[in-house]
Amino acid sequence: MPINILMPALSPTMTEGTVAKWLMKEGDAVKSGDVLAEIETDKATMEVEAVDEGTLGKIVIAEGTEGVPVNDVIAVLLEEGEDKAALKTAGTKPAPKPAAAPAPPPATPPATPAASPAPAAQAAAPARVDGERIAASPLARRMAQQAGLDLTTLRGSGPNGRVVKRDIEGSLGGGAPAARAPAQAPIAVAAGPGAKSLADLLGMTYQLEPHSNVRKTIARRLTEAKQTVPHFYLTVDCRIDELLRVRKEINGRFEDVKVSVNDFVIRAVALALGQVPAANASWDDSGVLRYEHADVSVAVATPNGLITPIVKAAEGKGLATISREMKDLAGRAREGKLKPEEYQGGTFSVSNLGMFGVREFAAIINPPQGCILAVGAGEQQPVVKDGALAVATVMSCTLSVDHRVVDGAVGAEFLAAFKKLIEYPPAMLL
């Protein structure tokens, strides 16, 4: 009996995914543990492994198809001894939901036209309609809505006549859908009665860059955070000359250890949370969640958007361990290879833009966490030291706080503990 390969749920919040790439083709022998495909989720690209053995009999969902619901069939595996004839009995969809009562048939059924020979080459099928819903990918629907296109007038070139991105781009370009347009192909859009955006109305030419799943998730979560979390902000200036001296000495003495300023920040945050545990908390409608460990989420920029891998239980890790973990996590984050448990969760976030020369900024809280620390660049500034004017390297750090769970006094106490650790790194050894 053929085995259906389903779109897996790669995280607790995943409802749909994109078949980014097939790594095997129809007819290939499959062993348990073989990587079949790469699936793009809302945060990363994950590899899907086979759990059964056999032959890849049919690829149901084509490479590049977006918005495939979890548990939909994406391919069919033939067991040993089965041939392609068995595919006729294989399902290509998940178990159907109970359908509404069918509408009564028309009094006079329409006449059925005589069958005609199929042409050698056939155009793409019209968009398939399930009831009142046109078969189209979520991206195609959004692009059509923005451009004022009627999906019922388009022919879908995707699986089973589904309207996909290239069909929209082909329609906007005034010709037939291209075989596969590049992700950032320029699209000239003229103003018209169905135009939706200001650019359309002004007849502007622009590039439409479709949102990645990562970018859509970032937009949803940050909008939710700013709309529902009452932020307030606290800023402290830290003198980091001693930190820079210690860092230089460590990196000069040990060939296999290269610590960064951000590694010191992560270590200081974790220890400060241990000293002020009330800041290591988050809001829940049922009560305040107070965490036992400092699982520090660190913002990392990737080609698809921001992601926050986690240094777990950072309070128990030294600078060298934190440095090695962050290099590994950041590298795999940029490649889209993080596991869900490596970026989901976290109790406190750190966002550092100092390497870009940003002196000071305020970050948006990463829900459901209660705090995020925004770290700026270290700059030489005039300061008063022992009653005399001097020059020191000063780093501004701004704490964004969820006022529902962390009060101003607690936030100030945390920053005071953090400042002491940053300004005197040997205290991190105590």
What is the strand order of the sheet 45-49 is part of?
A: 45-49, 35-40, 16-22, 68-69
Buried b (16+ CB within 10 A) or exposed e, 186-217: ebebeeeeebeeeebeeeeeeebebebbbebb
Using a 10 angstrom Cβ sphere, with 0-12 exposed, 13-18 middle and 19 or more buried, the burial of residue 371 is buried
Give the model's pLDDT for residue 194. 45
Residues 6+ away with beta carbon under 8 Å from 145:
196
Give the model's pLDDT for residue 169. 75
Show the DSSP H helices in 207-311 as ranges.
213-228, 241-253, 261-275
**Does residue 231 have an active-site annotation?**
no
Q: Is 429 left (phi over 0), alpha (psi -120 to 50) or beta?
A: alpha
Question: What are the φ and ψ backbone dihedral angles of 271, each rounded to 5 degrees?
Answer: -70, -35
Tell me the whole-structure pTM to 2 decimals.
0.62
Copy the structure tokens of residue 51. Answer: 């759990």
Q: Which residues are paired to 40 by β-bridges?
A: 18, 45
CB neighbourhood size of 162 (10 A):
21
- Contact by Cβ (8 Å): 72, 61: yes
Query: Torsion over CA of 170, 176, 179 and 185, rounded to 10 degrees?
Result: -30
Catalytic hit among 211, 231, 293, 403: 403
Give the model's pLDDT for residue 193. 43
Q: What does DSSP assign to residue 136?
A: B
Closest CA to 1 of 85, 69, 74, 70: 85
Rg (CA), the chain: 28
Buried b (16+ CB within 10 A) or exposed e, 391-430: ebbbbbbbbbbbeebbeeebbbbbbebbbebbbebeebee
- As a whole number of angstroms, the distance between CA 168 and CA 134 comes to 14
Strand locations in 67-147 (E): 68-69, 73-78, 129-130, 133-134
User: Given CA atoms 357, 331, 44, 351 in this order, what sign does their dihedral have?
Assistant: negative
Q: Which domains does the chain have, with CATH numbers?
A: 3-89 (2.40.50.100), 129-210 (4.10.320.10), 215-429 (3.30.559.10)
CB neighbourhood size of 349 (10 A):
23
- Averaged pLDDT, groups of 10, the chain, 430 residues long: 84 81 89 86 78 87 89 88 70 46 44 40 43 65 76 75 77 51 39 53 80 81 92 97 95 91 97 97 95 96 88 96 96 89 94 95 94 96 92 97 96 98 93
Give the model's pLDDT for residue 201. 64
